[in-house]
Amino acid sequence: MSLIAGSYEKYIWGFKLKPHETPHLILTPLFSYPSHQSSITTVASCGHYAASGGSDDIIHLYDLPSASYLGSLHDHSSSLTSLSFVSPPNLSFPRNLISSAADGSVSIFDADPFVLLKSFRPHRKAVNDLSVHPSGKLALTVGRDECLAMLNLVRGRRSFCCRLGREASMVKFDLGGDRFFMVVEDKIGVHEAEDAKLLCELENPKQKRVLCVTPGENGVLYTGGEDRNITAWDTKSGKVAYCIEDAHSSRLKGVVVLTRNDGTASVDDPYLVASASSDGVIRVWDVRMVIKEKPNPLAEANTKSRLTCLAGSSLKSFKQPGPGSKSIQKEELDAEMEGS
């Protein structure tokens, strides 16, 4: 398993999660270097690929098993706000990369090779977040224009738009695609995917802003933010299932549920959740320990930078890197940025 994090200081961080002394794990560094010309705003990973987007309007691509740099995409003209890979069911390689930006645009890239297929503008202002349905055929976006939009990824166009009356910062489908979650300040709305009907609203007990969300198995939703906690919500009842209090010394900027290479979780495997904070620390937790006692992280790494985003992937059963991939070297990245 691997974790990818971005920071305000332009650095991309890659770690491999490996067994250590039972029951502990260790985060082994894969790479770290200044990949962007300004702060990194979003990261994504799927199979052996990872991608990062920054306020320099550039997307960088990486091969995780070989820690190789694959190149960059310069098709956006404003800061990247979200990245998401689209992967066929039960396969470890992505079919497409979907990106959104601060000018209200969404772009669809082929993943083999990485070339732009379509770019369009579903929002009049910045896209705050994007979530792809598990089918890979549609996506939801929320923007600064206070709108929720549904995108047809097959045709590359907006198929529906709804004015919310307030600005949502995040939107996420659940693992089955039957519902979606929309974040506004310290509240999370749980909606039916078919008609966007509001089922219930989850409210942070401390009334602190929610800055990151990720769905888990069995209707569980993990959130983190300014309260410094990792909160697990039972979205069926609308109540808090459990909480890791003071998971970090500063606000959380990323939460990831780690799975096996087939994309599923198993009751026989440790139920691992990773978190990243602006304090620079990445931690991995076994959330089953919360029921017994206040858990200690199974593994952690201190990047000593202000982290902004986090993504996770598996490093098992990957194909070998294709021809033309570059080793991650600072000199090569400097040359790439000078030529951009």
Q: What is the DSSP string of 137-202?
A: SEEEEEETTSEEEEEETTTTEEEEEEE-SS---EEEE-TTSSEEEEEETTEEEEEETTT--EEEEE
CA atoms within 13 A on the CB side of 260: 9
Whole-angstrom Cα distance, residue 305 to residue 167?
29
* The pLDDT of residue 290: 83
- CA dihedral of residues 152, 55, 145, 210 (deg, nearest 10): 90
* The pLDDT of residue 196: 92
Please report, in angstroms and rounded to a whole number, the separation of the first and last CA atoms in the chain.
32
CATH superfamily of 2-339: YVTN repeat-like/Quinoprotein amine dehydrogenase (2.130.10.10)
Q: Is the dihedral of CA 179, 3, 13, 68 positive or negative?
A: negative
- Give the predicted TM-score (pTM) of the model: 0.87
Whole-angstrom Cα distance, residue 6 to residue 239?
31
Strand partners, 192: 179
* Intervals of the chain under pLDDT 50: 261-270, 315-340
| Length in residues, the chain | 340
% of the chain surpassing 90 pLDDT: 71
